[in-house]
Structure 1
Amino acid sequence: MPLINKPRSHSVVPGTTDHLTRLRIALTTFFALDGFVFAGWVVRIPAIKQQTGASASALGLALLGVSAGGVVTMTLTGRLCRRYGSHRVTVVCAVLLSLSVALPPLTHSALALGLVLLAFGAAYGGINVAFNSAAVDLVAALRRPIMPSFHAAFSLGAMLGAGLGGLVAGFLTPTAHLFGLSVIGLLVTALAGPALLRLHAPKPTEPSKPSNGAPRRAATTSRRIVITFGVIALCTAYGEGAMADWGALHLEQDLRTSPGVAAAGYSLFALAMTAGRLSGTVQLMRLGQTRVIVCGGAVSAAGMLLGALAPTTWAALLGFGIAGFGIANLFPVAIERAGAHAGPDGVAIASTLGYSGMLLGPPTIGFMADWFSLPTALVSVTVLSATAAAIGFTTRRATGHAPLRHAA
């Protein structure tokens, strides 16, 4: 795409390099904020479990509220983005996410916790569909595979949120900590929201329509491809959700670590994901999508097996880091390719399937932990990571490769 000289006036012309750069920065801010707020909630799960007196299975059902609220909202968010624009929906959902994160520490039963997590999950699911839809359009405008960089911002925000949570866990109550996250989220939204609203989204590229072929068959094929990437996203989200909801508890409960070290476990996982996603564009341009998915799934499976079954804290932390690096680019590649094949509808379908992994993860691991043990339950992440790698390999010809391999 040819570069257009920046106008001398202070206005930013849609489609210019300056406009797309500002839009990328604004979207990156919201990806980072989402990760920061979510990780801040995650590291306080052990304290809130103790506060509510919930068993592992009861906590798993309560945590189901996050995923249930998210999956239900995602089906509606796609329509809202079509009507009002993904930028507006992103800002509104950021406000709701920031407000709802302060609610969990105000509960004192698993039932009440599950109900407030429905609201938190609804905001979380909504903002994920909204800013991923905006990011897919921006990727098409830039003609570069930069989707992993947005998810790197999410991981970086998660790392910072988890690290901050580990630092304050010893002297701040969950109520004070999560209220502080709420204030930070509202401030960031107040600063970045107006900029995002002023920047018009690039016109999305419509999926090509067959001229004299069979449009129904083409639509069916496209839908199958979208569902395939959605299943890969599901396997990935299951693993991310497992680490978010149960990683810290595994370190604290099974390996007898301190709350600070337990929080550092998820922070290390997020750091490894950040590193993997920061290098994601280079990986995609050099290796292609199939190799990134297959190799990433295999590495994640090996790392999670070590993290779940290692007898020492340091070995478990190493495993979590390996798993984070391996799983890093599976979800962003799946979402971007679904959007490239079917536009906003593809993003909505793949996102809904993807976050269904988080819907299945918390109760599945909770019940398995009660029946067997938490380490055994976490091995299910290894199985699904390997499944994602196998799907990526067996469907390599059907899904094709990204056409975005050159700079703008």
Structure 2
Amino acid sequence: MPNVNKIRTALSGRPRGDASPLSSARLRTALTVFFALDGFLFAGWVVRIPAIKHRTGATASTLGLALLGVSAGAVITMMLTGRLCRRYGSHAVTVVCCVLLSLSIALPAQTGSALTLGLVLLLFGVAYGGLNVAMNSAAVDLVAALRRPVMPSFHAAFSFGGMAGAGLGGLVAGSLSPATHLFALTGLGLLVTTVAGPVLLRGRPAAATVEQRAADASEQPQKMNVHARRIVILFGVIALCTAYGEGALAEWGALHLSQDLGATPGLAAAGYSLFALTMAVGRLSGTALLERFGQTRTLVAGGTTAAAGMLLGALAPAVWPALLGFAVAGLGLANIFPVAVGRAGALAGPSGVAAASTLGYGGMLLGPPVIGFLADAFSLPVALTTVTLLATAAAVLGYAARNATNT
């Protein structure tokens, strides 16, 4: 099977005959661009939430209901995206969802009520959820073909994209209206997709990975027995606990800084940018941490650090200590999600990755509306302390799962 061998050789980065070692590098670069663009667009939306809240006249609870549109759209799509990827390929689904995300991001600034905001955020959630599952599916295929643990680099790209998007949002918050800003993000998203999309569409890792998956299935036919399924769910819950914190900070962090602590729009936007920066730095160092301390210690230390940081970020009486707390929380949360999803994949293959990722992203998307309801019932600082509780739970569950790993 010379064609399959050529594809496999190209993906593994080893030259053979006329096969170029750059093909795998280009494919990896294109996929990294999509991860970064996803984070950039999402952050560009979240830093304008305070302005859009004011425009629509929404209360904390009605804003939480509107944000539930993102959650509902994403969760529904996540359950279907796996089938779409199997039928049309994860690369094609990634490109289509990125186009849809770029188009839908301009819509929230055009709404005048919480109801219409929720409806357009439903579409935004469909695109966001589909893109994240498709990208991670493509990344799993590429990691398997390369036989190198490069998954953390993709998640670091998402964090760097989020940092850049939040930073840019902070710079333009005082001079550009939300409508102008988000419309510009639409143009940028479509432009980047036009450039990187063809590279991804030309890449065909499936020919190599389908054979590899079939071989893995024949070697481990009972991978998803009842015991393995329970462990996969356990790691999925760990991912959910930490992604809850990421979603909460993304969509409520800027509002907390501006509303409760009196930060300027630019400084409020910098809160999420700082959180994304420390998360990205933590993910870049994730491989070294795992090699030195192992997965269980990394999970426990990360959860404990995030819990302490978020407690400071939520209850600090001034802006600068709160920003420090956000930074510490980002450092703690950085590697928990990739480790949890990676362990689920090691136990149950791609189906384990899909299950844990869906639970994890569900936490990211369900966290913001929960925070909204709690903020209306108590206060936003009190509501944000739930991030501390769930980060602590992740640390406890990570320790409980120590016997489920090989470390």
Q: Which moved more, 1:25-34 or 1:275-284?
A: 275-284
Equivalent residue in structure 2 for 1:368, among 363, 367, 374: 374
Contact 1:237 1:357 in 2 (8 A): yes
> Are 1:387 and 2:393 matched, yes or no?
yes
Aligned to 2:3: none
Q: CA deviation at 1:143?
A: 2.9
> Are 1:274 and 2:280 matched, yes or no?
yes
Q: CA deviation at 1:237?
A: 1.2
Contact 2:144 2:209 in 1 (8 A): no
The CA distance in 2 between the partners of 1:188 and 1:209, in whole Å, is 37
Contact 1:75 1:348 in 2 (8 A): no
Equivalent residue in structure 1 for 2:80, among 76, 83, 86: 76
Contact 2:36 2:158 in 1 (8 A): yes
Q: Aligned AA for 2:15?
A: K
Contact 1:78 1:345 in 2 (8 A): no
For the residue of structure 2 that corresponds to 1:49, the secondary structure is: helix
Contact 2:224 2:348 in 1 (8 A): no
Q: Aligned AA for 2:40?
A: F
In structure 2, stretches of 5+ residues that fail to align are 1-7
> Are 1:179 and 2:188 matched, yes or no?
no
Equivalent residue in structure 2 for 1:112, among 89, 109, 116: 116
Q: CA deviation at 1:7?
A: 5.4
The CA distance in 1 between the partners of 2:292 and 2:343, in whole Å, is 17
Q: Give the 3 Å change call, closer, same or farther, for CA 150–69 of structure 1 in structure 2.
A: same
Computed over aligned residues only, the root mean square deviation of the Cα atoms, in angstroms, reads: 2.0
Residues 108-143 of structure 1 deviation map (CA, whole Å, 9 limit, x = unaligned): 111110110011011101011111111112222333
The CA distance in 1 between the partners of 2:336 and 2:329, in whole Å, is 12
> Are 1:141 and 2:150 matched, yes or no?
no
Q: Which moved more, 1:360-369 or 1:110-119?
A: 360-369
Q: CA deviation at 1:366?
A: 1.1
> Are 1:324 and 2:330 matched, yes or no?
yes
The CA distance in 1 between the partners of 2:31 and 2:404, in whole Å, is 31
Contact 2:13 2:25 in 1 (8 A): no
> Are 1:252 and 2:247 matched, yes or no?
no
Q: CA deviation at 1:26?
A: 1.1
> Are 1:358 and 2:367 matched, yes or no?
no
Aligned to 2:15: 6
> Are 1:241 and 2:254 matched, yes or no?
no
> Are 1:153 and 2:162 matched, yes or no?
no
Q: Give the 3 Å change call, closer, same or farther, for CA 88–310 of structure 1 in structure 2.
A: same
Q: Give the 3 Å change call, closer, same or farther, for CA 346–5 of structure 1 in structure 2.
A: closer
Aligned to 2:23: 19
Q: CA deviation at 1:5?
A: 4.8
Q: Aligned AA for 2:174?
A: G
Residues 30-82 of structure 1 deviation map (CA, whole Å, 9 limit, x = unaligned): 00000000000000000000000000010011011111111110010011111
1:191-202 to structure 2, matched below 5 A, reads 191-201=195-205, 202=208
> Are 1:311 and 2:317 matched, yes or no?
yes
Contact 1:305 1:379 in 2 (8 A): yes
Q: Aligned AA for 1:332?
A: P
The CA distance in 2 between the partners of 1:4 and 1:131, in whole Å, is 20
Residues 130-179 of structure 1 deviation map (CA, whole Å, 9 limit, x = unaligned): 11111112222333322111110000000000000000000101000000
Residues 184-230 of structure 1 deviation map (CA, whole Å, 9 limit, x = unaligned): 0000000000001111114154384588x9x6695222211221111
The CA distance in 1 between the partners of 2:13 and 2:78, in whole Å, is 36
Q: Aligned AA for 1:324?
A: G
Q: CA deviation at 1:368?
A: 1.3
The CA distance in 1 between the partners of 2:196 and 2:304, in whole Å, is 38
For the residue of structure 2 that corresponds to 1:200, the secondary structure is: coil
The CA distance in 2 between the partners of 1:318 and 1:190, in whole Å, is 38
User: Between Structure 1 and Structure 2, how many residues are aligned?
Assistant: 394
Equivalent residue in structure 2 for 1:296, among 302, 313, 325: 302
- Percentage of matched positions with identical amino acids: 68
1:333-352 to structure 2, matched below 5 A, reads 333-352=339-358
> Are 1:222 and 2:231 matched, yes or no?
no
Aligned to 1:66: 70
Q: Give the 3 Å change call, closer, same or farther, for CA 181–217 of structure 1 in structure 2.
A: closer
Structure 1-normalised TM-score? 0.92
Q: Aligned AA for 2:137?
A: S
Equivalent residue in structure 2 for 1:100, among 101, 104, 121: 104
> Are 1:163 and 2:167 matched, yes or no?
yes
The CA distance in 2 between the partners of 1:118 and 1:141, in whole Å, is 35
Q: Aligned AA for 2:123?
A: A
Structure 2-normalised TM-score? 0.92
Contact 2:13 2:24 in 1 (8 A): no
Q: Aligned AA for 2:274?
A: L
Q: CA deviation at 1:29?
A: 0.5
Aligned to 1:405: none
Contact 1:98 1:185 in 2 (8 A): yes
